[in-house]
Amino acid sequence: MVSGVKIAIVGAGSVGFTRKLIADIVSVPELQDVEFALTDVSARNLELVRRIIERVIEVNKLAAKVTATTDRRRAFEGARYVISCVRVGGLEAYADDIRIPLEYGVDQCVGDTICAGGLLYGQRNVPVILDFCRDIREVAATDALFLNYANPMAINTWAALDYGKVRTLGLCHGVQHGAEQIADALGAERHSDLDYICAGINHQTWFVDLRLKGRRIGREELLAAFERHPVFSKQEKVRIDVLRRFGVYSTESNGHLSEYLPWYRKRPDEIARWIDMSDWIHGETGGYLRHVTETRNWFETDYPKFLEEAERPLDPTKRSSEHASHILEALETGRVYRGHFNVKNAGIIANLPQDAIVEAPGFVDRFGVNMVANIVLPQACAATCDVSINVQRMATRAAVEGDVELLKLAVLHDPLVGAVCSPEEVWQMVDEMLVAQAAWLPQYAHEIPAARQRLSEGKVKTRDWAGAARREVRSVETLRAQAAARRENTEV
Amino acid sequence: MVSGVKIAIVGAGSVGFTRKLIADIVSVPELQDVEFALTDVSARNLELVRRIIERVIEVNKLAAKVTATTDRRRAFEGARYVISCVRVGGLEAYADDIRIPLEYGVDQCVGDTICAGGLLYGQRNVPVILDFCRDIREVAATDALFLNYANPMAINTWAALDYGKVRTLGLCHGVQHGAEQIADALGAERHSDLDYICAGINHQTWFVDLRLKGRRIGREELLAAFERHPVFSKQEKVRIDVLRRFGVYSTESNGHLSEYLPWYRKRPDEIARWIDMSDWIHGETGGYLRHVTETRNWFETDYPKFLEEAERPLDPTKRSSEHASHILEALETGRVYRGHFNVKNAGIIANLPQDAIVEAPGFVDRFGVNMVANIVLPQACAATCDVSINVQRMATRAAVEGDVELLKLAVLHDPLVGAVCSPEEVWQMVDEMLVAQAAWLPQYAHEIPAARQRLSEGKVKTRDWAGAARREVRSVETLRAQAAARRENTEV
Amino acid sequence: MVSGVKIAIVGAGSVGFTRKLIADIVSVPELQDVEFALTDVSARNLELVRRIIERVIEVNKLAAKVTATTDRRRAFEGARYVISCVRVGGLEAYADDIRIPLEYGVDQCVGDTICAGGLLYGQRNVPVILDFCRDIREVAATDALFLNYANPMAINTWAALDYGKVRTLGLCHGVQHGAEQIADALGAERHSDLDYICAGINHQTWFVDLRLKGRRIGREELLAAFERHPVFSKQEKVRIDVLRRFGVYSTESNGHLSEYLPWYRKRPDEIARWIDMSDWIHGETGGYLRHVTETRNWFETDYPKFLEEAERPLDPTKRSSEHASHILEALETGRVYRGHFNVKNAGIIANLPQDAIVEAPGFVDRFGVNMVANIVLPQACAATCDVSINVQRMATRAAVEGDVELLKLAVLHDPLVGAVCSPEEVWQMVDEMLVAQAAWLPQYAHEIPAARQRLSEGKVKTRDWAGAARREVRSVETLRAQAAARRENTEV
Amino acid sequence: MVSGVKIAIVGAGSVGFTRKLIADIVSVPELQDVEFALTDVSARNLELVRRIIERVIEVNKLAAKVTATTDRRRAFEGARYVISCVRVGGLEAYADDIRIPLEYGVDQCVGDTICAGGLLYGQRNVPVILDFCRDIREVAATDALFLNYANPMAINTWAALDYGKVRTLGLCHGVQHGAEQIADALGAERHSDLDYICAGINHQTWFVDLRLKGRRIGREELLAAFERHPVFSKQEKVRIDVLRRFGVYSTESNGHLSEYLPWYRKRPDEIARWIDMSDWIHGETGGYLRHVTETRNWFETDYPKFLEEAERPLDPTKRSSEHASHILEALETGRVYRGHFNVKNAGIIANLPQDAIVEAPGFVDRFGVNMVANIVLPQACAATCDVSINVQRMATRAAVEGDVELLKLAVLHDPLVGAVCSPEEVWQMVDEMLVAQAAWLPQYAHEIPAARQRLSEGKVKTRDWAGAARREVRSVETLRAQAAARRENTEV
């Protein structure tokens, strides 16, 4: 039993994720008596979550402790691990990340990575990330590890490492989900029959080597598998097209991938060709915004159900594939865990810039995260990643320095924005976003009046529309009715 | 007097350039008894040019010798310098570089660097470049220097260095011309009052430091100068807009620059806003093609005038700013010459890939071309260059290996093509270009039947138009009449 | 069961090592039906070994096959793995590696890595390595893996990778043995309680992180442990002194380490202070030469015992810690194996030259050997390794090109040679070694007459002695008597 | 005329150098009205120098101003250039740099670069350099340039750049003097007939390309020239031997070079073979210490002569080859100056570490110092430089952090110390030097008591001698008599 480990979770108010993280961690026998220190800006959510975790601990008779406080520094005090899953600006700012770019023709599906929305999201995040890092440096345990789950992954991790000066690891489950889908497409008996190397940057990572029970899977076989798959052939049209042309499959879901590339969402009348509206979000305009809005509403009314769920004993075999618990296990026990992580590209991907934040395979053991050296990406994958990396580098520095011009240049160089907008449109769009989100952009405070002035004189014509493929946010009642219907269908 | 220097010129049939090169070189006192070995695929042009050079030598009583042969290896034998100004495929292939992309909405002005036309031009050039290099390695003097003037500069130089294994320097006059324009805009008394550092890649080089009589010129001053200039404010709208946003001026002329960026030529109805049709080529569709077509026609009829001109004694003070003669002078005499050259990026520009072909300042002396180490580009300039470099890297390798898929990926990643086309359009467009230019693409011979087959089944709709801003090729008569009118105007 | 795997072993005539390799490999359930193709220059040894392996296969009822041939190309044909444990020049040349440097005051213990002996050994090896590589490229399976056990490790691996153009992994057991010693010194219950990261170059690898049951072991604790250990405190004086000053422990055994450093063997009268003569080779002059001479004699007489041993069934729990079988298992089954390997430093050790052959941790799985990126060595360790790397780089190129001057410069820069000799002594010593070993140095054939001429005029005075700490080679009878005595002692 | 340029000179009390610097600078027409701000720790020397400079200005009717103050910050205020020629610890500490290592067998000639003396000298300098840098950052002009003439060059420059965070250029005249000697050896009519590229690190720079009137000079020709030269063949034996073996000539004078290498000074009885005692310092023990001691004494008595000299008008044709005035001229006027400078190796020498301070060619113009990119050193030269660079890297960090162990490791890895001493000798020697020089080593203050304690228990036997080739310091009377005698000889 490893003792004395304190794990702080910031943004802990998001109940589902916090509960999963903690359940995963206490599934490790050696980690059952850790201390979880939850913190969030919302005292109310925090209390709701704390109560659930408290119940989980009691029901499962764990030695773990849980505390909750809105005082972040107290939560971080002495912590060996700090896990962040914050969303700065909440749904209010997020809605603007989707709405304003649409006025300028930029039709995003998720908008949390690059593209106009993701880049502004980064501007909101970085000041907060730097605050976290200062607190970690000052009050957390020596050499504490910062595990960042928050998007935009590359920008947040870049800021934490280069400017926050904290040991940081960026974590995402995109690689695992992509691999499961490939395994399904290939008809694997078990997901674990598929071995793979992924490399690139977060949300643009590429399956550069695939083995099914040890047999190498080439482009033609994979393409055929996806094309004949009844569901994926409909829902993953962009990914399949990219596979066809690049030769490798991307980790990122269809709609998300489509917004990092200049080719699939620039003509409104063609977007529908590449997405699927039947289910979940495979490319719909503002699809993820709709999803998280529905989820939040659902949570508000369905809290009792979470509490009820907490009464059921944990099943260690249900431990999720989220990296955090596996990393902690590896670091604390020495059992090797292989995953794909977001880190500074120091010797890892030979044909991406060495200062970039890359996502690549690593083996975690008690010595830390041992990233694999000297991976070479196919040239087209590297070319596509390079565009985003340049955008991220500019956006990160702009966010730290509050440099409006550099931010505009970052947005201008974004692949989808660049394919859709003219420079003057970009300049006005960014001004509009800065003004709308000023409350979360302290580093730009001195620039807001001038931006407001420029806006009032703005000559660029904007467009009033909801995007090429917009769905309504469903009410809780509708969701409940649909869930009930699904259950009935399944049971029959 | 340096003796025993043999200079081979390949593509010597282009009379104007060859005559200028040679006149420049013999203006150097130490270089008056060199041997010029002219070679070209056209025996007729070669003979015309040889006669002119012969006259120049006689009239000026030089010790130089000139020979002409269509046998390239004979011309290269023992040469210490090989200068290339070839245009593979001539005007016939060039016309297709402009015409076919237009069918797919890609409206190019010059099309000789990247973009669909430039990339195919590179495919035609590389096999020829590799032939030159083999001959240089085999029959030229030990460590002969290959001076390449031919476009696409980066692709040609990349191929010559990495695959041709020959000492190569890529030469272009874009930097000098840009600097002269800046000096004029700033109202400098003499062009030489302006000192500057340029860095980037050929045709996307940036004036990162400007001094007028030693005083640093910042963005605002330069912008104001261009905006109030009666001519440049009309003819250089894209460059001025880029200066406004990036903070630095680009070497490349307005129309040319506009086709390397995703922002200015993607909407046909807006192209007119950014270009000027009054004079020369400041952005017109296929403008450079029109120009060289007119020039060629003019040459056909005006050859006697060239001969006449050769009768006049050379004036050394009229030596041009083309690099070649200055480089030869520096290498042979040790007098330092500072210029901007295209070379492998080995330690030169810190934030561009080290394998790229960059254009940057160097000091030539008898030890060779001493490139300046460790230049850092502004991030947005680096981002813009990076996109092209990735395209060039793929296009160069594709050209060497005859790899159709890689060529298509190169074209797909081109900034303007990517902003205009969908992937399937790119695939069909490249097939169409390969089939049309098969005669000059030996490395793709095995791929042409399949490309033809795919084309016959092509489903992508193409567009039948002349481009957003097309002018007619003027007849020789018209040109003569216009020239006469201009002379009259000037005289009055 | 993985089928169709052919494993060629070159230098298979060394019975002990070949038998161990094969026993290890067939201990892996999936690898029991592989084909072993043994090859050696000595038909006689080969036949002796083949018979033993044949018996092992029969006795253990394995599906494996064994063949033996002096025709190397036949052995390599279709092989997926080629394992080399050759010793070029045998004991005859080796004796000169020790004897000649002694004349010039260079008193080596092992002399197979760098130092005068090791560098000449490299000159003998490289031509053979390049022959192996040519055969592998031409007749082995596509992408066959060359596993090199032969010393000098770095030079051999460097030549195979850069000049032989073959996928190569250099394997040594020094790291494992060092770790076992540390575990013993610390009083660990089991060797596996110790986790460690080693990094550096072969035979100069440093334990940069040590954990005993997860607890970090610092310099002071380790130093105290070694200083109070009854045996190690006597046998490992150099290593302990280096640990005291550098802060980290070296993988290399006492005598071996002492000959890579300028500080411990340069004064004959002080060598005795740093070594131990009681047992095995802890620094004696030519100690390893004595050891292998005795072993060879022993083998000659004791062959029947080997055959007898082969009759006993294999015990899979006795599988050795030699890397080869574990690597094959990982590559063929995907089970992760962590070890320390010799590879090109591409992104691995940040503060050693990127072209060096480094020894560092890697995780082998079915994708290959995943080396850990971005390790930073303590500065003094890096400084010490750098000296050797420079020597190895020069020696490797000299060996490939047959460049006598570069070889002499390599020897001159060797740390121990440089501390002992003057330049003119080095020049004469190398000439003497080249002449003595000319039979194994085809690449220097054209240089031998001149070297012989220079030698005959040599003015440097040499010394006639056996070294500071020389022991006699024991006869087989003595060895047998001593072994018997030891058995008796143990039984009592 | 460039106006408003203030030049601070720190260590200005060394009259000869300061006078030369200033005379050189005012020889540039555009620089005649600059302000010189002299500062030094010795008010007395400062006043003496100020008076001389004042006279120079008056006599030559210059517009320049001179001020003198012991308040360094006042001197630095607003300065565009800060030139340092300090010698921290003066002759007192310097004497210990020579004396103490001798006790341990380390027989230095100059001892101001690496080796035991140079490394301790660096420890004394770095705290002062960092003070200078802080003052420059805080009170000098924005982007002021620090021109460092003080030794140890690499350590001082490294500290100023990496830790002082100031734009720094390290200047030495070794390259020029070496080139003049080569020109003389080759019998050149004028020194300027020789063109050359030097590259390496300060005091270990190598003439990698030599051209006499454009003709390449190879090793054999150069070697023959030196061997037959009546003076150099006697005075430069080490350099000639190195040329013979390495193939290139070193910038460094015979005695100085001999102390950076492990081969020429390690055996006391052989030192005499490699040096010349007839004149100046070509290798004598503590030769440079003797020289500066004599010079200081001379200055004390001969000050009136300096004043007298100041009365003579300046002759601009006598401008010296010291870099400073030429650099200032180039930066302020744009006239290109080519020299060899000490800078961070960013892209300059491809096969030396990128963080090292290298000495290599650069072209200065108004944009700054344009270092030449991508020079490749011969492998043996790189190997030799690498050893020193590792020592310098450790010594610089040790000096900044006051890390005794790292300092000892630096000294241990020094090539000559490593060839002469054992580790325990090094440990005791460094302790002895730290204790002796504690007054100038504030960063080690906390370590001195422990060092003193260890010293008192020191078991290493030391040697009481004056070195292998020691000469007495001559009295002023002797010097005067010898000078008189020389004059007489010359006049006859």
Q: Does residue B186 contact residue B228 with C-beta atoms inside 8 Å?
A: no
Asked if C264 is an active-site residue, the reply is no
pLDDT at B479: 85
Lowest pLDDT segment from A16-20, B374-378, C190-194, C338-342: A16-20
pLDDT at A1: 59
pLDDT at C483: 81
Tell me how far CA of residue D63 lies from CA of B131, B132, C235, D56, in angstroms. Answer: 64, 61, 76, 11
Identity at A437, one-letter amino acid code: Q
Over residues D296-317, the pLDDT tens digits come to 877 777 778 888 888 999 998 9
Q: A1 — contact with chain C (CB < 8 Å)?
A: no
pLDDT of chain A along its 492 residues, tens only? Answer: 567 899 999 999 888 899 999 999 999 999 988 999 999 999 999 999 999 999 999 999 999 999 999 999 999 999 999 999 999 999 999 999 999 999 999 999 999 999 999 999 999 999 999 999 999 999 999 999 999 999 999 999 999 999 999 999 999 999 999 999 999 999 999 999 999 999 999 999 999 999 999 999 999 999 999 999 999 999 999 999 999 999 999 999 999 999 999 999 999 999 999 998 877 678 999 999 999 999 887 777 777 888 888 899 999 899 999 999 999 999 999 999 999 999 999 999 999 999 999 999 999 999 999 999 999 999 999 999 999 999 999 999 999 999 999 999 999 999 999 999 999 999 999 999 999 999 999 999 999 999 999 999 989 999 999 999 999 999 888 988 888 888 877 654
Residue C300 pLDDT greater than 90, yes or no:
no
Q: D398 — contact with chain C (CB < 8 Å)?
A: no
The percent of residues above 90 in pLDDT, for chain D, comes to 88
CA B432 to chain centre: 25
Compute the average pLDDT of residues C408-421: 98
Sort strands A35-39 and A65-69 into parallel, antiparallel or unpaired: parallel
Over residues B160-206, the pLDDT tens digits come to 999 999 999 999 999 999 999 999 999 999 999 999 999 999 999 99
Residue C482 pLDDT greater than 90, yes or no:
no
- What is the C-alpha separation between C483 and A69, in angstroms, rounded? 72
pLDDT at B310: 87
H or E element at residue A287: helix A287-310
Over residues B116-147, the pLDDT tens digits come to 999 999 999 999 999 999 999 999 999 999 99
- What is the C-alpha separation between A325 and A19, in angstroms, rounded? 12
pLDDT at A280: 66
CA dihedral A433, A204, A385, A417 (to 10 degrees): -30
Identify the band that residue C140 occupies on the pLDDT scale cut at 50, 70 and 90: very high
3-state helix, strand, coil in chain B (%, to 5): 55, 15, 30
- The CA R_g of chain C, rounded to the nearest whole Å, is 22
Residues of B in Cβ contact (< 8 Å) with A413:
380, 383-384
Contact criterion met (CB < 8 Å) for A346 and C370: no
In chain C, what's the furthest Cα-to-Cα distance?
66
pLDDT at D303: 79
- What is the C-alpha separation between A428 and A453, in angstroms, rounded? 11
Between the two ends of chain C, the Cα-to-Cα distance in Å is 47
Identify the band that residue B488 occupies on the pLDDT scale cut at 50, 70 and 90: confident
Over residues D96-106, the pLDDT tens digits come to 999 999 999 99
**Which of B262, B267, B351 faces A262 most closely, judged by CB atoms?**
B262
Q: Which residues pair with C10 in a beta bridge?
A: C39, C84
**Residue C132 in 3-state DSSP?**
helix
- What is the C-alpha separation between D89 and D93, in angstroms, rounded? 5
Residues of D in Cβ contact (< 8 Å) with C354:
none
pLDDT at A491: 58
Taking the CB of residue A134, how many other CB atoms lie within 10 A of it?
Answer: 14
Identify the band that residue D1 occupies on the pLDDT scale cut at 50, 70 and 90: low
Residue B332 pLDDT greater than 80, yes or no:
yes
Taking the CB of residue A88, how many other CB atoms lie within 10 A of it?
Answer: 22
pLDDT at D16: 86
Measured N-to-C along each axis, helices D237-246 and C423-436 cross at an angle, to the nearest 10 degrees, of 30
H or E element at residue A244: helix A237-246
Q: What tokens does A91 get?
A: 């749904």
Q: B423 — contact with chain A (CB < 8 Å)?
A: yes
pLDDT at C98: 98
Q: Does residue C65 contact residue C3 with C-beta atoms inside 8 Å?
A: no
- What is the C-alpha separation between A250 and A243, in angstroms, rounded? 7
Over residues D115-169, the pLDDT tens digits come to 999 999 999 999 999 999 999 999 999 999 999 999 999 999 999 999 999 999 9
Over residues B70-120, the pLDDT tens digits come to 999 999 999 999 999 999 999 999 999 999 999 999 999 999 999 999 999
Contact criterion met (CB < 8 Å) for C412 and D245: yes
pLDDT at D397: 98
Over residues B259-287, the pLDDT tens digits come to 999 999 999 999 999 998 877 678 999 99
Identify the band that residue C306 occupies on the pLDDT scale cut at 50, 70 and 90: confident
Over residues B446-456, the pLDDT tens digits come to 999 999 999 99
Number of residues in chain C: 492
Q: What tokens does A430 get?
A: 């960014």
- What is the C-alpha separation between D72 and D79, in angstroms, rounded? 11
Lowest pLDDT segment from B27-36, B444-453, C237-246: B27-36
Tell me how far CA of residue B179 lies from CA of A217, B191, B193, B207, B455, in angstroms. Answer: 54, 8, 10, 8, 45
Residue C280 pLDDT greater than 70, yes or no:
no
User: Which of the two residues, A403 and C278, has the higher pLDDT score?
Assistant: A403
Residue D492 pLDDT greater than 60, yes or no:
no
Residues of A in Cβ contact (< 8 Å) with B413:
380, 383-384
Compute the average pLDDT of residues B49-62: 94
Over residues D67-85, the pLDDT tens digits come to 999 999 999 999 999 999 9
Q: Does residue C288 contact residue C281 with C-beta atoms inside 8 Å?
A: yes
- What is the C-alpha separation between B131 and C225, in angstroms, rounded? 68
Q: What tokens does C47 get?
A: 């036949």
Catalytic residues of A: 173, 260
Residues of B in Cβ contact (< 8 Å) with D371:
372-374
Number of residues in chain B: 492
Residue C426 pLDDT greater than 60, yes or no:
yes
Taking the CB of residue C142, how many other CB atoms lie within 10 A of it?
Answer: 7
Compute the average pLDDT of residues D8-16: 92
Tell me the whole-structure pTM to 2 decimals: 0.96
Over residues A298-331, the pLDDT tens digits come to 777 777 888 888 899 999 899 999 999 999 999 9
- What is the C-alpha separation between B350 and D163, in angstroms, rounded? 21
Number of residues in chain D: 492
Q: Which residues contact residue A372 at a Cβ distance below 8 angstroms, ignoring those fewer than 6 apart?
A: A197, A348, A360, A361, A362, A363, C363, C370, C371, C372, C373
pLDDT at C1: 59
Compute the average pLDDT of residues B224-252: 97
Identify the band that residue C62 occupies on the pLDDT scale cut at 50, 70 and 90: very high
Q: Which residues contact residue A388 at a Cβ distance below 8 angstroms, ignoring those fewer than 6 apart?
A: A114, A154, A201, A204, A260, A415
Compute the average pLDDT of residues D46-53: 94
Residue B482 pLDDT greater than 90, yes or no:
no
Q: What tokens does B76 get?
A: 């290269």
pLDDT at B271: 94
Residue C492 pLDDT greater than 60, yes or no:
no
Identify the band that residue C295 occupies on the pLDDT scale cut at 50, 70 and 90: confident
Closest CA to A437 of A394, A407, A406: A407
Q: Does residue A150 contact residue A121 with C-beta atoms inside 8 Å?
A: no
Residues of A in Cβ contact (< 8 Å) with B409:
245-246, 379-380, 383
- Complex-level ipTM: 0.96
- What is the C-alpha separation between D422 and D462, in angstroms, rounded? 12
Residue C278 pLDDT greater than 90, yes or no:
no
- The CA R_g of chain D, rounded to the nearest whole Å, is 22
Chains B–D, number of C-beta pairs less than 8 Å apart: 79
The CA distance from C348 to the nearest CA of chain A, in Å, is 6
Q: Does residue D226 contact residue D187 with C-beta atoms inside 8 Å?
A: no
- Count of helix runs (H) and strand runs (E) in chain C: 20, 13
Identify the band that residue C133 occupies on the pLDDT scale cut at 50, 70 and 90: very high
Q: Does residue D414 contact residue D260 with C-beta atoms inside 8 Å?
A: no
Identify the band that residue D349 occupies on the pLDDT scale cut at 50, 70 and 90: very high
Best mutation target among D365, D369, D377 (most B Cβ atoms within 10 Å) is: D365
Nearest residue in C to A208, CA atom: C367
Any idea what the Cα angle at residue B167 is, between residues B165 and B172, rounded to 5°? Answer: 120
Q: Which residues contact residue D41 at a Cβ distance below 8 angstroms, ignoring those fewer than 6 apart?
A: D13, D70
CA B14 to chain centre: 14
Over residues D367-420, the pLDDT tens digits come to 999 999 999 999 999 999 999 999 999 999 999 999 999 999 999 999 999 999
Over residues D206-231, the pLDDT tens digits come to 999 999 999 999 999 999 999 999 99
Contact criterion met (CB < 8 Å) for D418 and C270: no
Identify the band that residue D489 occupies on the pLDDT scale cut at 50, 70 and 90: confident
**Which of B262, B413, B421 faces A380 most closely, judged by CB atoms?**
B413
Q: Which residue in the list C94, C104, C260, C444 is annotated as catalytic? A: C260
Q: Which residue in the list D94, D121, D196, D260 is annotated as catalytic? A: D260
pLDDT at C490: 65
Q: Which residue has the tokens 């006027």?
A: D333
Closest CA to C452 of C438, C467, C440: C438
| Phi, psi dihedrals of residue C389, rounded to the nearest 5° | -65, -40
